[in-house]
Structure 1
């Protein structure tokens, strides 16, 4: 499976605040947030759904993965999306294990699984 998704009763702002708090427990932080709705509207395009992309990183883990295989940098930083889906807030991410499998690097599999499990825990804490 490429992705991991959950639904929460929190609104978008509450969900993002909850994710930021949960990520800190795992030494991750939000580097920046891309507001797709705002950007598309700035370009004169209609898009009414809230859709935020959080670029998240744990610097020590990023260093570790890059020292193992620089090609892993193509997948950094990790992304968590928060968006409105039919009136409910969805939180999801592409699974790091799915992305890293494209490199066919056995050394990174267990390491990436640990990162994925920790990010899933952060998302689950936000439900």
Structure 2
């Protein structure tokens, strides 16, 4: 099952992280959390891992609508966007809310999920605009 939307970019990892944050802001998302997976794994397990950052992104307007529709939807929030490096390539990938919220038996979430998904796809597509 495809649960993410991904694109490869020919820019540095650090530049990709910053440009992804900028693209999120253009679409009305704030970054609530930023997890440096590489640093966390090094600290906790003393293992090496590729550059990998998880950005917990939230669009307050749509989060509020989703919470009004389904109280427990917070279990699936915020929308994660990842930036990672693999074999010299940099990728930006975003969760597909239609897939994630498809687990919830509430058809009223469909329009919200579709709208947020369109916005997240634009984020991934416009990291370099």
Work out whether residues 22 and 126 of structure 1, in 8 Å CA contact, stay in contact via their aligned partners in 2. yes
Runs of 4+ in 1 over 3 A off after TM superposition: none
Match of 2:80 in 1: 79
- 2: CA distance between counterparts of 1:29 and 1:76? 13
Work out whether 1:89 is the aligned partner of 2:90.
Answer: yes
Give the paired residue count. Answer: 127
- Provide, for residues 54-102 of structure 1, a one-character-per-residue CA deviation record: whole Å limited to 9, x for no partner: 0111112111100000121111011000001111001112211100000
- 2: CA distance between counterparts of 1:119 and 1:74? 19
Q: Show structure 2 runs of 5+ residues with no match.
A: none
- 1: CA distance between counterparts of 2:90 and 2:124? 12
Q: Show structure 1 runs of 5+ residues with no match.
A: none
Match of 1:64 in 2: 65
What CA RMSD, in Å, does the superposition of the two structures yield over aligned residues?
A: 1.1
State the TM-score, normalizing by the size of structure 1. 0.94
Q: Cα distance, 1:44 vs. partner?
A: 3.6
- 2: CA distance between counterparts of 1:60 and 1:111? 10
Match of 2:25 in 1: 24
State the TM-score, normalizing by the size of structure 2. 0.93
